Structure 1
Amino acid sequence: MVADLTCIMNVSPEFISIGGNRNPAAADWDEHGSGFLAFGADNCVALWDPLEKDCRGVRALLSGHTNSVNAVKIFPIGTSNATILLSGSADHSIRIWRRLSGEEPPFKTVKILFGHRSAVTRIATLPGSDVFATGASDGTVKIWKLVHDQDFASLEAELLQTITLSPKYFPMTISLATLDETSIVLAVGGTKSTIQIFISKDTQFELAATLTGHEGWIRALDFTRETTKEGSDLLLASASQDKYIRLWRVHRGEELPAISNALSDPALGVLGKSLSNKAHRIKSATAKYSITFEALLLGHEDWIYTASWRHRDGKLQLLSTSEDNSLSIWESDPTSGVWICTTRLGEISAQKGSTTATGSAGGFWIGIWSPDSNSVVSLGRTGSWRMWTYNSTNDIWEQQVAITGHVREVRGLCWSRDGSYLLSTSSDQTTRLFAEWRREGKSSWHEVSRPQIHGYDLNCIDSITESQFLTGADEKLLRVFDEPKGVAGILNKLCNIESKGATELPDAANIPVLGLSNKAIQAVEDDVALENGDTDNREAADPASVMRKSTLNFDHPPFEDHLARHLLWPETEKLYGHGYEISAVATSHDSQLVATACRGSSIDHAVIRLYDTKDWLEIKPPLKAHSLTVTALQFSPDNKYLLSVGRDRQWVVWERNADGAYQLAISNPKGHTRMILDASWANFSQPTFMTAGRDKSVKIWQISGKEAQLKTTVAANSSVTAVACDLGGAEDVLVFAYGTENGEIVTGNAAASSLDQVETSKMDESISPSRTINQLAWRPRKGGNGKQQLAIASDDTSVRILDLLST
């Protein structure tokens, strides 16, 4: 070991961005204790406190599942001393997580249940009971009992019953309720238009009734008591792909309840005549019951994904979310008994079905009440959460700052040249800009702009200047984007980031219908009429083709509807020449050159093309040396060298000659024993670089004359997929980080005088990604606050910023 070397040990997450899974069952809000909203995010469970004043976003990711998390449920134990969380996944397992008050990390896996033979899709719990139910794509519903001691220090789960749905269909929603002192009622719906009602007798559930009426698959079921009085009727809400919500009444006794006035609602028209009020007779061990149709709720224009009850301000209300981009709150009119929609939130009458920046969010998949019932949250197609909070003074629901994130693998990221903001790009076909919102002594990270929304998967990204970047995608070309004035103003106002070069640029950008290129547009004052002179119908115009200046004027991070429509960057150049999907891109440190590569299986396609950023012309001929895909490119800090590595196991150093052109200087056809996946230059006076490979090793090389010497090899536990050197530290110390295929992140350092002696430190699993690391990027210190920070892009769809403190 080298004496007096700094070993980085203290690591803490500064920011985590991750999108939610599009499954209506994949989120739940803890009403006791922690206050966390837990939601499925790829194969993790994310923890977020929406009501936190500091708006810090996702606080932790619970990893353990090996496939997408489809169902998340807080187990109601009625105490704040512990929190029990259940999660079901496409890996066929159910995990039980426990958090004891004051315990770190927030949750630990205490039990894994393997009962289902296919993806677990739903979990239902029952307050005041240890029973819970799970549904899966194997066509079964399983009933479990949680066995625990008083303080939940020991936990077990016992399988009580397996219900095979007959005729076989897949359960998409299940709900449990207490029927009486001896029985529990279970409602199951799924890939049929009927609802099955099961009643427990002793410990076994038996089919008691089948409710008909819906004309599409059942997506949501939820039980509640009509009033808080003891013995009041049970109400069941069922929501379906037929665009309707049906309410059912479970009434105790031989006599049927009075016919609901809602059935004679004139709004039902002809439909009302065909509504059946057939009574379904069921019985428990101690009493007889009837189930009758109560009301039909009309208003949604597309599939309904969730419906959940809440007793709020003395009224019974139902929250529903739909593919039509709306979230509705329903309640019964006190005089007529007719159920009406009292609040409608979201994008009413937006361009339904469109998935581009000019279109809609693609539907609301999840809707959840807050514990105090005065806020609601919803998840959309883009993986972003939205939140509305009720303002009692103005009697209005106001949208609040929520969280956003990628929903597919994050393929690349880069800091702006001065480190003031972070850009990430992903297979979800978006590029996102994250920056630090600074206000009144507080700071928190948010997505502040969505510069690119594309039609192809995006693979790589790099900054050119403080206000310009380029990305490469599966479409075989690269696109260059310039910061618009609108975004520059928001970054200045919210993040204290001064604009550099955006004064001559347009205000904003949009994507034309059927287009892939962001076109520049100008913003107009709010009182300026549109071209047709029709001031009265301004709101009817396509919101993507018109930008009002007030649209870009807000004092908080933008909401999802702004990000998806109004905060694009105009595209200024396209770079052609490659014949296959773009695999790597790098910009010189003086911003004058761009090097790019594409996927290739021959020396003719695995070339490196250079472009001059002044006129965006290609500098020919392309650089030929590799025979397979070039996986990474990087210019040395002084721009004298260009380093390339590839799947052909070789690394190549290209040197700039007197004419400014790059030519092959050194190559090593056997740099690693398997493909090389990444490389990075150190900030040393003597040229030094690192390579990372599939052979589970990181190698440090130093150029001396016309040769490169292997200084040391750092062994890893699995394939190394990313490596990055911190260029902002001391010149005589190499500080680096590497990431592996299984999500491990290791930091290391070595003195320039003794590169053969490297100290390494592996980061804790609780802050490491759960899947492959695709890129690492150290934050430049110029625009930062002096902290040593590392940004991480991973296949688990997360973007993370970690603070590293030297000890």
Structure 2
Amino acid sequence: DKHKTGVYALLTGHTKEVNAVKFYTLPFSYGGSRHFLLTGSADRTIRVWRRQDNKSNSTSPGMTSIARPTFTHVTTLHGHESSINCIAVARGSELFVSGAADGTVRVWRLKDVKGENGAAANMIIDCQLVQTITLKPRFFALALAMRTLGGQKEKEKEYEKNIEAAPPLVLAVGGTRTTIQLYVMQGGVEDVQEEPRQFELKASLTGHEAWVRSLAFTDMDVERTQSQAQSQLQDFFLASASQDKYIRLWHVHAGDDVAAVRAKVDEDGMVLGGSLEQALSNKAHEFKAGGSKYSVTFEALLFGHEDWIYTVAWNSDLKNPKLLSASADNSLVIWESDPVSGVWYAAARMGEISAQKGSTTATGSIGGFWMGLWSPRGDTVVSLGRTGAWRLWKYEGETDLWSQDIGLTGHVRAVNGIEWEPTSGGYLLSTSSDQTTRLHARWERGGDSDDGSCYSWHEFSRPQIHGYDLNCIASLGPWRFVSGADEKLLRVFNQTKAIANLLENLTGFTGGAKPADMPEAANIPVLGLSNKAADDDINADVANEGEGDDSQSTPTAAAPLTPHASALHLPQPPLEDHLSKYTLWPEHEKLYGHGYEISALATSHDATLIATACKASSLDHAVIRLYDAAATTWHEIRPPLAAHSLTITCLRFSADDEHLLSVGRDRQWAVWRRDDKESGDGKRGVFKLLCANPRGHARMILSASWAPILDSSRPRVFATAGRDKTVKLWMQEKGQDQEESFICKASVSFSNPVTAIDFLPVVVGGGQLYLAVGLDTGQISIHAFAIEGLGEVGEAMALPELECPSKAVYAAGVGGRSTGKGNKWMAGMSSPWRVRIVLCGFSGL
């Protein structure tokens, strides 16, 4: 995508992790789309999605109109008894296969359904289970590869002429054993009166010494004999990748003669680094299919990876086949065959060369590549790693080099908290169970849209890479934030000059005057746990250390690498290499006091107070602790605030910082009022309980939010959301005894538990409040309420299903900058594995 817009749709339906995805094209259709997407999941089902091509998609201002296909669910296949691991398809065949952890491979036939008028029936697909292969000796299939035998283009033309004809197929199965099994299905016309065609085991390929993780067939451009040319037969390769760190190539030859081994042996009897006896087992496995004879022989052993190899993939160039491999050693390798000698060699290597084996992401390591893919034209490769980043490399013909370009980044586990930059919404912070905090901002640049501008959202910094799952985050102005994790303390971080300059140059965010003591950069010391500030001149000091000393230096531990601020002088958003190494924020302070994991966190709008809570099952720990962020000592303001009996799930300061709202698992909400004057000792941030409702909801309360204040004379309003599937709006009132309390004025029911809510921080049109609501099922909607009486105004605006997550929305944050027209606000919604930013329009702003 040249516009770098990233994810544009989410397909929801599976109830557990999706383990396999595969695009598939039917060889024949009655006029409907022939293009499908097959997805296999740990929920033991396969879902079939049909592609629909659209002329154009509605886009936001600054975004060029792009025609993007959509996929609609048409059927769900059941049959496997355990998690589905892999799916394989073959061009020119209506069959596809799936492998699962139940020890079976299942073969499915997908057919288009003819409608009454002869055209394709409306989104109806006929899918039948053709065969169940029980793998013997028993093992789990982790990799499948399937293709037609013979010339594929010729077979496709033959199939179009006679849709009842089917080409012969070869299926390779690998998994939790060291062997690769080859199955063959004979071609021909299916006769309903006879037994249906079945896959039969024809060969077992040996050689690997560990589990087989990936298999891939390709076409191979070879010199054909006259008889081969007449029969339209064609040779091809099978590549297999294993946890033994090796790739094996197998030559499938069509014809009566057996293909000769092309691997070259050097003077020492070595074949590509392995001994001839161990590396080459050149037994020819022969079988017949479609009236022709085939043989499978070992072709080459490729080595160079230093860890498990997860995937192999061939490019689409038949005349110059290249193989892409992705490994846990943090590298991608492109393999080519020398046209003269026939020896396969590593033509390009991308990724990371790490001197520290077993490095984690906390030290800047990418943690291995899980997947490698070619683009259709073969000039781009992408990889997916454990940090959640899709890395992208493009081939430059002028330099004959592969250069890294902007990819996609994101969290890999549940996103538990988000926070907009408070002064102007210049960026969005998110924190996750993947133990990272990330900063997202909008990259603005010239483009070809209607208004001459273009923008896209990217990750600009990874301030915190932690050793605990992160639960919550809150901002302390444009240059500082505090986060809480599955530990008993909180950590405060300061932004660096390098990140501030990067945001200013690429996003236009300035944030006002920068602090005089802003550090240049940050790093994690060797054997250290906390980010430390590091200036550019430290390297020079280390280099000059010991000059003038005639004595021999004593060997010491290597000094930690200090990232330079110059590494972030970039014309575009940082790449994954920059994010994982050069964008940390130094840790400024630790806040102690809680006895269990941090569960909730909030900061006052003037950035002087921090309110925190931890997981609790007793009154002693279900307290709110306040910290003075304006003091240099960061001391706790005692005593802690006690009202709840179980874990506090959400804390919120009112817009004027005069009230603090807390809700918890005990179904109770409590409102605290600031009472600094009565403290008598000049302390800031003294709060006293104003009122509480021990039965605010029928079940636990999960989220809360204060409504914006139109003027100081109006009563305060807040909303609460609970697992009882309701959102309640509460308004401040005074009773006959002049005691203040909050009365429920409105209640909105939903079909599922409500997990996150947040008010738009301004009143719209002089009298409307807008509330964003996220449900346990991932549905997101925006509701309008009249400020007078809190009655709901109009119908709720629901986000399209393609833009909603598949699981619970854990946090909601409405804010951000307007788009220049004055009526746009961005709403950030966090959910498992993703942060969704939605552009909303509100008339009357």
Fold match (TM-score > 0.5): yes
1:464 and 1:618 map into 2 onto residues whose CA distance is 16
Residue aligning to 2:809 = 773
Contact 1:512 1:519 in 2 (8 A): yes
Pick from 315, 318, 321: which aligns with 1:316? Answer: 321
C-alpha contact 2:526 2:560 (8 A) present in aligned 1: no
Question: Are 2:63 and 1:99 aligned?
Answer: no
| Of 233, 236, 246, the match for 1:234 | 236
Task: Provide the secondary structure at the position in 2 that maps to 1:753.
Answer: coil
Contact 1:735–1:749 under 8 Å retained in 2: yes
Amino acid at match of 1:788: K
- 1:247 aligned onto 2:249: yes
CA distance in 1, matches of 2:566, 2:120: 53
Secondary structure class of the residue paired with 1:569:
coil
Take 1:549 and 1:781, find their aligned partners in 2: how far apart are those partners?
27
Query: What residue number does 1:475 align with?
Result: 487
Which residue number corresponds to residue 507 of structure 1? 520
Which stretch of the first structure deviates more once superposed, 319-328 or 98-107? 98-107
Structure 2 residue 438 is the aligned partner of structure 1 residue 432: yes
Q: Answer yes or no: is the 8 Å Cα contact 1:484–1:502 preserved in 2.
A: no
CA displacement, residues 186-215 of structure 1 (integer Å, 9 cap, x when unaligned): 100000000001111352000000010100
Pairing 1:651–2:681 present? no
Which residue identity lines up with residue 675 of structure 1 in the other structure? M
Please report the RMSD computed on the Cα atoms of aligned residues, expressed in angstroms.
Answer: 2.4
Confirm or deny that 1:723 pairs with 2:757.
yes
What SS is found at the alignment partner of 2:503? Answer: helix
Following TM superposition, by how much is the alpha carbon of 1:232 offset from its aligned partner in structure 2, in angstroms? 3.3
CA distance in 2 between counterparts of 1:228 and 1:734 reads: 70
Task: Name 2:36's counterpart in structure 1.
Answer: 84
Structure 1: how far apart are the matches of 2:329 and 2:773? 44
In the alignment, which residue of structure 2 is the partner of 1:225? 219
> Which has the larger displacement, 505-514 or 768-777?
505-514
> Cα deviations across residues 23-62 of structure 1 (Å, max 9, x unaligned)?
xxxxxxxxxxxxxxxxxxxxxxxxxxxxx22111111111
Gaps of at least 5 residues in structure 1 are 1-51, 535-540
2:277 counterpart SS class: helix
Q: What is the letter of the counterpart of residue 721 of structure 2?
A: A
Q: Is the 8 A contact 1:773 1:792 kept in 2?
A: no
Post-superposition offset of 1:504? 2.0
Tell me, yes or no, if structure 1 residue 591 matches structure 2 residue 613: no
- What are the superposed Cα offsets for residues 151-209 of structure 1, whole Å, 9 maximum, x if unpaired? 76542212111111011100010101222365211100000000001111352000000
Aligned mate of 1:799, from 805, 824, 835: 835
Aligned-partner residue type, residue 670 of structure 1: R
Amino acid of the residue matched to residue 660 of structure 2? L
SS of 1:111 mapped into structure 2: strand
Deviates more, 1:401-410 or 1:351-360: 351-360
Q: Rg larger in 1 or in 2?
A: 2
Deviation at 1:784, TM superposition (A): 8.0
Contact 1:246 1:294 (8 Å CA) reproduced: yes
Question: Which residue does the alignment assign to 2:261?
Answer: 259
Q: CA deviation at 1:756?
A: 3.6
The verdict on how the C-alpha distance between 1:496 and 1:270 changes in structure 2, with shifts beyond 3 A counting, is: closer
CA gap of 1:766–1:226, structure 2 versus 1, over 3 A, is closer
User: 1: distance between equivalents of 2:789 and 2:389?
Assistant: 48
One-letter code of the match for 2:213? R
1:718 shift after superposition: 1.6
Q: Per-residue CA shift, 1:402-442, capped at 9, x if unaligned?
A: 11111111100010012100000011111010000011121
Match of 1:115 in 2: 79
Pick aligned residue for 2:374 from 366, 369, 373? 369
Q: Partners in 2 of 1:492 and 1:350 — Cα distance?
A: 35
| Separation in structure 2 between the aligned mates of residue 801 and residue 261 of structure 1, nearest angstrom | 53
Pairwise CA distance, 1:269 = 5.0
1:399 pairs with 400, 404, 411, which one?
Answer: 404
The answer to whether the 8 Å contact 2:445/2:454 transfers is yes
Residue deviations 1:429-482, cap 9 Å, x none?
110100000111211100000011100010001111111111000011110011
Partner amino acid, structure 1, of 2:528:
G
Q: Which secondary structure does the structure 2 equivalent of 1:563 belong to? A: helix
Name the residue aligned to 1:65: 14
| In 1, Cα distance between equivalents of 2:546 and 2:132 | 67
Q: Which amino acid aligns with 1:625?
A: A
Partner Cα separation in structure 2 for residue 675 and residue 358 of structure 1: 40
Report the equivalent of 1:748. Answer: 783
CA distance in 1, matches of 2:366, 2:120: 41
Q: Residues of 1 paired with 2:824 and 2:136: CA distance?
A: 59
One-letter amino acid matched to 2:701: I
1:766 is paired with a residue of what secondary structure? helix
502 and 159 in structure 1: CA distance in 2 versus 1, 3 angstrom threshold: farther
- For residues 140 and 455 of structure 2, what CA distance do their matches in structure 1 show? 46
Q: Deviations over 1:212-238 (max 9, x none)?
A: 010010011111122177533221111
State the AA in 2 paired with 1:118.
Answer: S
SS at match of 1:551: helix
Aligned residue number for residue 581 of structure 1: 597
Task: Provide structure 2 residue ranges, at least 5 long, that are not aligned to the other structure.
Answer: 58-68, 156-166, 188-196, 224-231, 447-452, 548-556, 735-739
Contact 1:358–1:544 (Cα < 8 Å) also in 2: no
Higher relative contact order, chain-length normalized (CA < 8 Å, sep 6+): 1
Q: CA deviation at 1:117?
A: 1.0
Which amino acid is the alignment partner of residue 236 of structure 1?
L
Q: Of 201, 205, 209, which residue of structure 1 is paired with 2:186?
A: 201
Aligned residues: 750
1:527-568 CA-to-partner distances (Å, cap 9, x unmatched) read: 99845799xxxxxx9796222343222111111111111101
State the match for 2:728 in structure 1: 699
Tell me the secondary structure at the aligned position of residue 256 of structure 1.
Answer: coil
Of 170, 175, 193, 1:190 maps to 175
Q: Which residue of 1 aligns with 2:467?
A: 455
- Matched letter for residue 558 of structure 1: P
Q: In 2, distance between residues paired with 1:637 and 1:550?
A: 39
Match of 2:706 among 645, 656, 681: 681
* C-alpha separation in 1, matches of 2:342 and 2:817: 64
Whether the aligned pair in 1 keeps the contact of 2:101 and 2:140 (CA below 8 Å) is yes
Q: In the alignment, is the contact (CA less than 8 A) between 1:350 and 1:360 conserved in 2? A: no
Aligned to 2:178, the other structure's residue is in SS state coil
Deviates more, 1:612-621 or 1:278-287: 278-287
Determine the C-alpha separation between the residues in 1 that align with 2:544 and 2:380: 40
Q: What's the offset of the Cα at 1:325? A: 0.5
Query: The residue matched to 2:501 in structure 1 has which SS?
Result: helix
TM-score between both structures, scaled by the size of structure 2? 0.85
- After superposing the two structures, state which structure 1 stretch, 179-188 or 755-764, moved more: 755-764
Contact 2:817/2:826 (<8 A) preserved: no
Partner Cα separation in structure 1 for residue 655 and residue 283 of structure 2? 78
Please state how far the C-alpha of 1:796 moved relative to its aligned partner: 2.6
Q: Which residue does the alignment assign to 1:443? A: 455
Distance 1:565 1:152, change over 3 A: farther
2:207 to 176, 195, 213: 213
Q: Distance in 2 between matches of 1:379 and 1:781?
A: 32
**1:476-523, Cα deviation, whole Å (9 max, x unpaired):** 111001100111111111111115425422211112344331111123
Map of 2:719 onto structure 1: 690
TM-score, normalised via structure 1 length: 0.89
Deviations 1:697-731 (A, max 9, x none): 11111112312221111112121111111112335
The 8 Å contact of residues 173 and 190 in structure 1, kept in 2 or not, is answered as: yes
Structure 2 residue identity aligned to 1:200:
M
Q: How many Å separate the matches in 1 of 2:572 and 2:825?
A: 24
1:732 is displaced (CA, Å) by 2.8
> In structure 2, what is the equivalent of residue 271 of structure 1?
275
Matched AA of 1:89 = S
SS at match of 1:397: strand
Query: Could you tell me whether the CA contact under 8 Å between 2:816 and 2:826 is conserved in 1?
Result: no
Distance in 2 (CA, whole Å) between partners of 1:311 and 1:759 is 54
- Given that 1:73 and 1:123 are in contact with CA atoms closer than 8 Å, whether structure 2 keeps it comes out as yes
Look up the match of 1:617. 635
Whichever residue aligns with residue 506 of structure 2, its letter is L
Q: CA deviation at 1:790?
A: 4.3
Give the partner amino acid of 1:478. L
Task: Tell me how far 1:263 sits from its aligned partner.
Answer: 4.8
Structure-to-structure mapping, 1:732-743, within 5 angstroms: 732-743=767-778
- Aligned position for 1:144: 108
Distance 1:346 1:510 in 2: 21
